[in-house]
Structure 1
Amino acid sequence: MTEKTTKSYDFLFSVAPMLDWTDRHCRMFHRLMTRRGRLYTEMLTTGAILHGDRRRLLAFDGREHPVALQLGGSDPRDLAASAKIGEDFGYDEINLNVGCPSDRVKEGRFGACLMAEPALVAACVEAMKAAVRIPVTVKCRIGIDDQDPEAALDALARAVVAAGADALIVHARKAWLSGLSPKENRDIPPLDYDRVYRLKAAMPGVAVIINGGIGSLAEAKQHLLHVDGVMLGRAAYQEPWRLLGVDYELFGETSPCATMKDVFEAVMPYVERELAAGTRLHAITRHFVGAFHGVPGARAFRRHLAEHGVKAGAGVDVLRDAVALVGERSPAAVAA
């Protein structure tokens, strides 16, 4: 395998790993809107990878590159073994989750609770770096619970960078492990973008990517004045048409598809192949509901998929008929 090098430019734009959302069908859909954006899997635990159905969990379409595998775990040996498996499957990056605040994650001693154990996170990074030749990155919060974000983020960042981490992706909020649900942790703790900017200023040689509450490419451009990359989460998933502008606005290149209708024309062969392989139509089309937000016919599009896409044996014609209900006005124009 050819040795890979990582530059901060490689992380200029990415779509966040999101549980129950960024599966392989979602990523393939997103890839048709941006060639350059980096895509991430849902978080997969080391236990699932080491003991589960690896092909079902890890297989992806080669057109998804660049695509990163996000791991959840805290045992350095298990993480190293899982990272090597991910590399062998062809992933371009291994990312360690140090930001998820769910109870299940906390009980398993991984995710955001690891913000309190920077030495352990560093040991995990060091073990993964020794096992693979692709980049190893860390996604974290600015702190948890009563931690001081200045000290907590600095301690974690310096520990993992010393261990060899290739980049830091920082969700610019605290995670409150006591008192807030995972959903509340996505909105209630206040955003502190300046804290991430200060981290970058203090570590100029480290690739720092900012995440959390970023809703548009215009906002992304403002953040890029201070950090190396921007990661969009819910804005990319719930309003995927925003991704149509990524390659042109951020990379100065043409987009693979000019409109959402072009995207759907391009995705049809993929849907047909997946259906032939036994995938249910709804497993794919559930990621499409926000595609035409603000466009005439968007509600009819969603309703048609909701009513007909869930039926056993639903075929690609259901999707074609749904798209035909939508007008021609671009959602980007509606939002402008």
Structure 2
Amino acid sequence: MIRKRMTLAVAATTALAGGLIAVVTTAGPARAATVSQPLRTMVANLPVATEVRTGYDRDLFNHWIDTDGDGCNTRYEVLITEATTAPGVGSGCALSGGRWLSYFDGATWTDPADLDIDHLVPLAESWDSGSRTWTSAQREAYANDLGDARALAAVTDNVNQSKGDRDPAEWIPSVAGVRCRYITEWTAVKTRWGLTVDTAEKNALTTYAAACTNSTVTVETVLGGGTTPPTTSPTPPGGTCTGTNGTNVTIPDAGAAVTSTITISGCSRATPSSTSAIYVDIVHPFRGDVSVYLYAPDNTYYVLKATNSTDSAADVRTTFTANLSAETTNGAWRLSIRDDYSGDTGYLDTWTLTV
């Protein structure tokens, strides 16, 4: 794909020329994590970004598949799991004698043909909010996600068709009593897969969540929101002081730098170690577009990552090491991130500083 690339990286180039880079990158794979947050907090933490439908094709999401090879594909696995009366399972996964409740409209059905399997966050909506940057394998996994019961639901076919690819700003179940369940499950799926929301969607979710019980929602993340630092992060000698900021910050397209702050106080160490670690988790379709700076409490800065126009891989999930021994440990440490080219947006998921 050819993108218009308008560089904003003059400052970064100058810094490189001046020899200000003080780090060595050591990559470590991100691992999934369990996120548990009150509903309203989880809604608030959903990153906001403009939706992009360009290039969407339902065929880019391979479904339904028979993951475990038992003869029943994802559609039938959901029907079997969600049946209120267990069906008989015959040859070719033919179902008989079952009964189902469609929670969207409260209707009950005995014929599986009357039910669609709804992607709670529709495939097109997922594309708009992030899956367009995924691999084919990731899209297939999303389209057949049996790992979280909230991702797929057996519902009345014409109700599912009425919903289409609309988000909660545009469609909500007609049964008022299930709306809190619906927006909770929508938020959980978006969090599980690291998907963004647009402004209208965020506003709608916030409004609905305010009228719901603020129960804790637990999600096992697959991509994005909830990734935690790898266990192989370097540990400075002589004890450490650590801070983490897990509040998502949107990185605008070719815009001004955005910052996230970690304040360390009460650290008994006078100065950081010469091998301080900075774990950074950025979700972005082209990590080469992104530059990352660390600012110490005295405003001295360190270039953790400069832009690289030849790097077209996605995401920055890396532990950087820096010699911060000249700095004061306690105070406000800032991570500054900028998208130096036009054509896409992303967000900072979390970062951790160990000094």
TM over 0.5: no
TM-score of the aligned structures, taking structure 1 as reference length: 0.29
Larger Rg: 1 or 2? 2
Bigger RCO (CA 8 Å, 6+ sep): 2
